Amino acid sequence: MATKKSAGTSKNGRDSNPRYLGIKLTHGDSAKVGSIIVRQKGRNFLAGKNVGVGKDHTMFALKEGKIAITSKRKLGFTGKTTVHKVVHVVTA
């Protein structure tokens, strides 16, 4: 019986790439059509004017302009009020 494993065998030599989530363009930055604003899992940020949402909840600009991030209070079904951030693209 060998006391060491033979060279070239590794059971845990795999890893997945990171997800690169987060805010890509902040308040006041200029955005072109189709540029990614936020990559997120779930709806942490809500889409405002001139902002589209992809199937993986990625938010992107529908028109060219400046990014504006505001907050909005939403009333849930249980009567609890939560504050959400809303992302807009303001055209000139």
Phi-psi region of 22 (alpha: psi -120 to 50; beta: other; left: phi over 0): left
Confidence class for position 5, pLDDT limits 50, 70, 90? low
Asked whether residue 23 carries a pLDDT value surpassing 90, the answer given is: yes
Listed residue (92, 49, 43) closest to 70, CA to CA: 49
pLDDT at 31: 97
pLDDT at 38: 97
Confidence class for position 2, pLDDT limits 50, 70, 90? low
- Residues in contact with 20: Cβ distance below 8 Å, sequence separation at least 6, in sequence order: 39
Percent over 90 (pLDDT), the chain: 82
Mean pLDDT of 12-26: 92
